[in-house]
Amino acid sequence: MYRYDEFDHAFVAARVSQFRDQVERRLTGEISEDAFKPLRLMNGVYLQLHAYMLRVAVPYGTLDSRQMRKLAHIARTYDRGYGHFTTRQNIQYNWPKLSDIPAILEELAEVEMHAIQTSGNCIRNVTADHFAGAAADEVADPRPYAEILRQWSSVHPEFSFLPRKFKIAVTAAERDRAAIQTHDIGLQLKKNDQGELGFAVWIGGGQGRTPILAKKVRDFLPEADLLSYVTAIMRVYNLHGRRDNKYKARIKILVHETGVEQLSAEIEAEWQHLKDGELKLPEADIAAINAYFEPPKLAPRAEGWGELAAWKKSDPGFADWVGRNVAPHRHPDYAMVTISLKPIGGIPGDASAAQMDAVARLAEEFAHDEIRVTHEQNLVLPHVALADLEPLYRALLADGLATANAGLITDIIACPGLDYCALANARSIPVAQEISNRFGDPARQAEIGDLKIKISGCINACGHHHVGHIGILGVEKKGAELYQISLGGSGDENASIGQITGRGFEPHQITDAIETIVDTYLAQRSSTEETFIECYRRIGADPFKAALYSSEAEAA
Amino acid sequence: MKTASTKTKVLTANRLTDGIAVWLGANGEWTTSLKEAFLARHDDAVAAIEAAGQQALDDNRVVDVNVIEVEETEAGPRPFRLRERIRSDGPTIDYAPAFTAGVSHAA
């Protein structure tokens, strides 16, 4: 993985020292809250309902065990013993004292981490496929390009005061695990007919109150042109993006209002001035960054094949876990393991300090010291020998980390909602917990199959409800919580925005409503092979609406 | 039924140093317990807590100062809005077993 050079160390240390001074001056009253707020936000510090919240960047979701141990240490020392992994592959602490945050940032800097650009109207943490560097279906590791974008965008003077926040995601496979079509810029690393690397470039995707899927503006941008072309996009957005209305300030609105053809033409015109300049990526620089992401040397471990079969036969729980949470690696003797942070009835994305330490220890022992955070709020060990799966499973089980539900109905994305968030209108976590408990039986989950439920506690859509197969949006109506359901959303390569079913449901009704939807699917599916989203796309919303609202119609 | 202007109000904020939710108490100090909050039952009292809030903001003791409406119950003041009830009672979920176990152990 990437290691800080002298410049990086000096840059982050200087930033910590600068923020320490700002915090000290704030605490002594030398600077007002109005002056301080933008400064703290630039360092990932929010004020939530109960306390401050610190959002720490995990660039493209990649961590090693030393970093994970530090995250555990911070949770234990400065917070209440846990952290919350987010849909931007970051981690949030919910209870840090403002007076402690400079010390926390100093500790993070020791392990080459920081909280810069995890908030504010700048280019946020660049996300990537959580299986990057291990997946069999990728053309190359997308993370070196995410790292190049990270270096280029860090405190970029031209792009630190954009009309609104800006999110970039990179994937390198046809199967999109990074949700690139819901990003301001989505990049798909690919090869052309000559075998050269380049990018399909998508712009103008986003969720929030106006969900829009991105439009493709380039089918193949040579890799050397990455920064010049992204700069051209940023310049056009920075110039024309609306600053009069924060709800219309994202690039998606600019693309929508201007039209993708005209905007592409403007980007191309801007790019003509840039493409042969200093932003052109030299081959040597690309190679130098790529060298940091050299895959671990994976020794042949063919013995795992036979062992795995025997273990699966003797332990159905292990077999279920392998079936759901273990995916093929590009090395046939290895696998990619998803560590579910969705225990049945638990809080999506939360991990205790003890669990973080356990993951760090297991990554060292079994996974070549690599850990990933997924945008679906789980963790991944990307390089595990098949021969090590059984001992790994036993160890995960002991720490409550072996829930076999990746991609199932209980693998729910949920934002912090009104339990923590100052913007929220309704709670998300208790809704996720009740659904998880209702469907927690392993046989029932397996019967239902792949189904993504995503829950947001307000229209800002941090819980990605627009792209949930079943999306749930909490709103406040007459002082009470109400939950709207949308169906048919998807954040993958066949991206779609879910459609609202109709009137919302009260907290005590929402789990029953989800069950009605699931039962309708089970009754309507053409076979057990047809997934929920496939079934929905075939039969449409009407059977689900009829099931949800028929009793109401009869009563009326 | 009471009109909006005669509803009981309390002053709430977050403490500057650690962000913890606090309410202005009858003794003029900020307290972490809503039960100890000063109940402003008429316009003059509301004006007084608003002034106290502005002063505490100016003195850099608290941030995000707000006057909120509460209902007076036998168990103490109860905010009308769920958001404010959650600020008062904490997350409605069992969010940090290790931490809460430590607290009850200490108590």
pLDDT in tens, A118-137: 999 999 999 999 999 999 99
Band of residue B32 on the pLDDT scale cut at 50, 70, 90: very high
A59 lies in some domain? yes
Please indicate, yes or no, whether residues A354 and A435 belong to a single structural domain of this protein.
no
- Of A257, A292, A327, the position where a domain reaches its end is A292
B21 with A49: Cβ contact below 8 A: yes
Tokens for B79?
A: 């905010």
Per-residue b or e along A400-433, where b marks 16 or more CB atoms closer than 10 Å to that residue's CB? bbbbbbbbbbbbbbbbbbbbbbebbbbbbbbbbb
- Among all chains, which residue has been given the structure tokens 């965008």? A153
Please indicate, yes or no, whether residues A435 and A488 belong to a single structural domain of this protein.
yes
> What's the complex ipTM?
0.93
Please indicate, yes or no, whether residues A198 and A273 belong to a single structural domain of this protein.
yes
Please indicate, yes or no, whether residues A314 and A383 belong to a single structural domain of this protein.
yes
Please indicate, yes or no, whether residues A157 and A187 belong to a single structural domain of this protein.
yes
Band of residue A1 on the pLDDT scale cut at 50, 70, 90: confident
Q: What is the mean pLDDT of residues A321-331?
A: 98
Query: How many Cβ atoms sit within 10 Å of the Cβ of residue A24?
Result: 13
Tell me which residue range forms the domain holding A35: 6-110
A80 with B98: Cβ contact below 8 A: yes
Tokens for A326?
A: 């273990």
A:203-222 residues touching chain B, CB 8 A cutoff: none
B93 with A433: Cβ contact below 8 A: yes
Please indicate, yes or no, whether residues A264 and A330 belong to a single structural domain of this protein.
no
Please indicate, yes or no, whether residues A216 and A326 belong to a single structural domain of this protein.
no
Query: How many Cβ atoms sit within 10 Å of the Cβ of residue A480?
Result: 11
Band of residue A551 on the pLDDT scale cut at 50, 70, 90: low
Residue A98 contacts B where some CB pair is shorter than 8 Å: yes
- Of A243, A262, A292, the position where a domain reaches its end is A292
Q: CATH number, domain at A393?
A: 3.90.480.20
**A360-374 pLDDT per residue, tens:** 999 999 999 999 999
Of A490, A450, A451, A484, nearest in space to A467 by CA: A490
Q: Could you give the C-alpha distances from A139 to A117, A174, A195, A226, A312, in angstroms and in order?
A: 29, 9, 10, 17, 32
Residue A77 contacts B where some CB pair is shorter than 8 Å: no
Please indicate, yes or no, whether residues A536 and A516 belong to a single structural domain of this protein.
yes
Give the Cα separation of A226 and A283 in Å (integer): 12
Nearest CA in chain A to B56: A29
- Of A270, A292, A314, the position where a domain reaches its end is A292
Residue A477 contacts B where some CB pair is shorter than 8 Å: no
Checking if the pLDDT of B2 tops 50, the result is no
Nearest CA in chain A to B100: A80
Please indicate, yes or no, whether residues A157 and A98 belong to a single structural domain of this protein.
no
Average pLDDT score over chain A: 97
Give the range among A207-211, A293-297, B49-53, B98-102 with minimum mean pLDDT. B98-102
Domain count, chain B: 1
Q: What is the mean pLDDT of residues A525-545?
A: 98
Checking if the pLDDT of A330 tops 90, the result is yes
A271 lies in some domain? yes
At A44 the three-state DSSP class reads coil
A404 lies in some domain? no
Tokens for A500?
A: 């609202």
Per-residue b or e along A113-148, where b marks 16 or more CB atoms closer than 10 Å to that residue's CB? bbbbbbbbbbbbbbbbbbbbbbbeebebbbbbbbbb
Tell me which residue range forms the domain holding B86: 4-106
Report field, pTM of the whole predicted structure over 0.90: yes
Task: Spell out which residues of chain B touch residue A344, defining contact as CB-CB under 8 Å.
Answer: none
**A426-474 pLDDT per residue, tens:** 999 999 999 999 999 999 999 999 999 999 999 999 999 999 999 999 9
Please indicate, yes or no, whether residues A288 and A142 belong to a single structural domain of this protein.
yes
Task: Spell out which residues of chain B touch residue A353, defining contact as CB-CB under 8 Å.
Answer: 98
Domain count, chain A: 4
**A59-106 pLDDT per residue, tens:** 999 999 999 999 999 999 999 999 999 999 999 999 999 999 999 999
At A510 the three-state DSSP class reads helix
